[in-house]
């Protein structure tokens, strides 16, 4: 019996320490939100929330330990009820509970939700159990669509906000996310590229070189400057047959 009482005392003290740490972390987070709501950023809030999660995890480990006695087998009952102020109770609860009254004790010792909340919960559970599979899938798909739409709006707003902040700081953006995605898609999958663009570019270069090689009135122009020359285009075979006669052939109507 003394061993069980000792284990219960150690467990309650560990639970009390963990609850005090959790209370301190919650107070620090609330104070930060109230006093630094204009300067606090999302990573800082997540760090503070991670501290709360760590305290809750530690409290769960204490309650699930094998050496800890089962608190479900214990019953907590008020020894005395009254409307007069109890200084010991007020000091123990840091002024939140000045007296153990008949109206306060049922809420403090409640192990089930209030009757109104329990009734609404039963209605929701009944409505969820009678919902068909197809209807549930349609609602899930609709909810997913709404979430994706909200996510796109938030992402676009974030990009606009970052662009405005960069412009306000005198830093012009040197890249475009849309152009980067389009370039990566074109290189990886060829999306947006039309076939034959390289051949057309080669013909344009060949024509430019040929025109530049002639001077005024068909006279040969100056030689091209030294440098890399454009590759010559292969001559396409003509479909028209020609018959070229020699120049020294006698004309039939020559006198």
Q: Which residue has the higher pLDDT, 44 or 199?
A: 44
> Residue 213: pLDDT band by 50, 70, 90 thresholds?
very low
pLDDT for the residue 148:
93
Mean pLDDT taken over the chain: 76
CA distance 118 to 243: 104
Question: At residue 226, does pLDDT exceed 60?
Answer: no
Q: State the Cα–Cα distance between residues 30 and 45, nearest whole angstrom.
A: 11
DSSP one-letter code for 101 = -
Assign a CATH topology to domain 1-74: Methane Monooxygenase Hydroxylase; Chain G, domain 1 (1.20.58)
Per-residue confidence at 123, pLDDT binned at 50, 70, 90? Answer: very high
226 with 195: CB under 8 angstroms?
no
pLDDT value of residue 205: 41
List CB contacts of 89: < 8 A, sequence separation 6 or more.
Answer: 97, 98, 99, 100
Gap between the Cα atoms of 62 and 11, Å rounded: 7
Band of residue 66 on the pLDDT scale cut at 50, 70, 90: low
Taking 70 as the threshold, does the pLDDT of residue 32 lie above it? yes
């Amino acid at each position: 019996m003394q061993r069980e009482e000792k284990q219960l005392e150690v467990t309650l003290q560990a639970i009390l320490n963990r609850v005090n740490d959790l209370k301190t972390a919650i107070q620090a987070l609330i104070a930060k939100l109230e006093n630094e709501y204009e300067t606090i950023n999302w990573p800082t809030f997540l760090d503070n929330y991670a501290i709360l999660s760590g305290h809750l995890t530690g409290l769960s480990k204490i309650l699930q330990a094998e050496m800890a006695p089962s608190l479900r087998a214990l019953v907590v009952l008020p020894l005395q009820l009254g409307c007069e102020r109890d200084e010991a109770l007020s000091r123990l609860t840091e002024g939140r509970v000045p007296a153990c009254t008949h109206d306060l004790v049922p809420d403090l010792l409640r192990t089930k939700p209030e009757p109104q909340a329990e009734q609404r919960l039963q209605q929701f559970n009944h409505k969820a159990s009678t919902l068909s599979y197809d209807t549930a899938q349609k609602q899930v798909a609709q909810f997913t669509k709404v979430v994706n739409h909200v996510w796109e709006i938030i992402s676009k707003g974030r990009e606009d906000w970052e662009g405005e902040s960069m412009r306000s700081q005198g830093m012009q953006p040197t890249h475009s996310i849309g152009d980067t995605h389009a370039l990566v898609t074109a290189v990886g999958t060829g999306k947006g590229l039309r076939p034959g663009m390289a051949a057309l570019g080669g013909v344009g270069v060949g024509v430019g070189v040929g025109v530049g090689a002639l001077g005024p009135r068909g006279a040969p122009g100056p030689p091209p400057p030294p440098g890399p020359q454009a590759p010559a285009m292969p001559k396409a075979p003509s479909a028209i047959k020609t018959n070229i006669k020699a120049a020294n052939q006698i004309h039939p109507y020559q006198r």
